Structures are given as structure tokens and as C-alpha cells.
Amino acid sequence: MVLIMPTVSTSPGAPTRLTFDAAQACRQLTAIDPVLGGVIQRVGAYAPHNDGAEDAFHRLLRAVIYQQLSGHAAAAIHARVLAALNAGDAPEPAAIDAASESLLREAGLSASKARCVKALARASLDGRLPAEDTLPTLDDATLIDRYSQIRGIGRWTVEMLLIFHLGRPDVMPSGDLGVRKGYALTYQLDDLPKPKQLEQLCECWRPYRSVGSWYMWRALELTE
């Protein structure tokens, strides 16, 4: 399986529909972790935004295209891929599956990404991806397992889907460099915490680790 390490897209989209009370989450986190509470007070309300994709399939498609690219370059390639497919802004898996790898390469995808995009489409057509209407019934671990079996879809990508598309409260993207940097900055650590160490440090944030992680990204922005 080829996995491409992604980068976070900072482009705003529609507000994420949350499955929990964000205000209550912030109050609880502030009570148990005053340092995090200080960041919450400076940043304001928890307000994640999705990337505008209408469903999980198209969010994952976009995530694969955007991996390891700046937002501007990725957006340009994404637009060229959509134009090459000639199937609208939300191409069906069948349209992607029918497209040749050379067509996707000509639109700007690397060979690896072209194969990943086609693998995602094939997985959808084969019924290996959960149907959109079943996603609320599946827990985080199940979705991470199901999606990460697809070529090019790593754990991080699924974690971003859980936080920003599905609005789940307790996702801990411990491998995310931004979260690690934000934590080191916020808690004045000399070194970046390793993923396993970060998981242990953030245990106190349960059941709202998504919220705490989001504020670590925002903590970095406060220094810019």
C-alpha cells in the first residue's frame, strides 16, 4: 500500500456540523486544563470548517490530490482534474474509474496519486467504502480501519475526515506535525512530543480530543 503523507489545507469551507455541544466541550477542557483554557479564551469558539466537499468520497478525493502540496498549487491541479474528467464538480466514482491514468497524469497528478485516486474510485464501486448515510452509525475506529485499507488513504487523512467532515469529538491526530508543534509551543516544551507521548499527554482531554487538537493548530496561528 502506498501512503502519501498529507498536509493540512487551511482554505475555509462551510462550518462543520458537530455531533456534540462545542461550548460544553470548551468549558470542560478549560476546567481540567487551564493552559488549554487560556488558548481557548484567546482564540474563541470551536469552529472547524470542512473543505466544501459534499460527501466523504469527494473529501477523500480532494485530500489525496492536496497531499504534499501548497493550497494554491493543489487547488489548481484539483480544478484541472475535474476539467479533465468532464463530470462536474463532484465526479462519480465510475467517471474516475473509467479515466485513464495518463489523463490524470496530464491534469497534474503524480503517478502515485493517479493510482490512489483510481483505487479510491474502485473501492467505492466495489462497495468497500461505507455508504454516506451509514457513517453516523460507525465508530471512529471502524472508519479508520475501513478507509485506511484503500491505497493512498492513511490514518491522518481519515482523522481529518472524522474531525472536519463528520464533526466527531474525540479524535487524536497525534501524528500531525501542527498539533505536535502547537502543543510544544503552548506547554513550553523543549522538544516536539512524539506521537505516543502526545497521546499520553492529551488523555485528560477525553472525550474532546478533537477540540483540544484544533486549538493546538490555532495556537500556532497566534504566533504568526
| pLDDT tens figures, 29-86 | 999 999 999 999 999 999 999 877 889 999 999 999 988 887 889 999 999 999 999 9
Report H helices in 126-154.
140-147
DSSP conformational letter for 4 = -
Question: SS3 of 204, please?
Answer: helix
User: Per the residue annotation, which of 33, 97, 170, 176 is the catalytic one?
Assistant: 176
Please say if 170 is a catalytic residue. no
Confidence label for 7 from pLDDT (cuts 50, 70 and 90): very low
Class of domain 22-47+170-222: mainly alpha
Residues 95/87, Cβ–Cβ less than 8 Å: yes
Confidence label for 12 from pLDDT (cuts 50, 70 and 90): low
Is the pTM for the entire model greater than 0.85?
yes
* Domain boundaries of the chain, sorted by first residue: 22-47+170-222, 56-165
Residues 163/210, Cβ–Cβ less than 8 Å: yes
CATH 1.10.340.30 assigned to domain 56-165? The reply is yes
| pLDDT tens figures, 96-154 | 999 999 999 999 999 999 999 999 999 999 999 999 999 999 999 999 999 999 998 99
**Closest CA relative to residue 2, chosen from 91, 110, 144:** 110
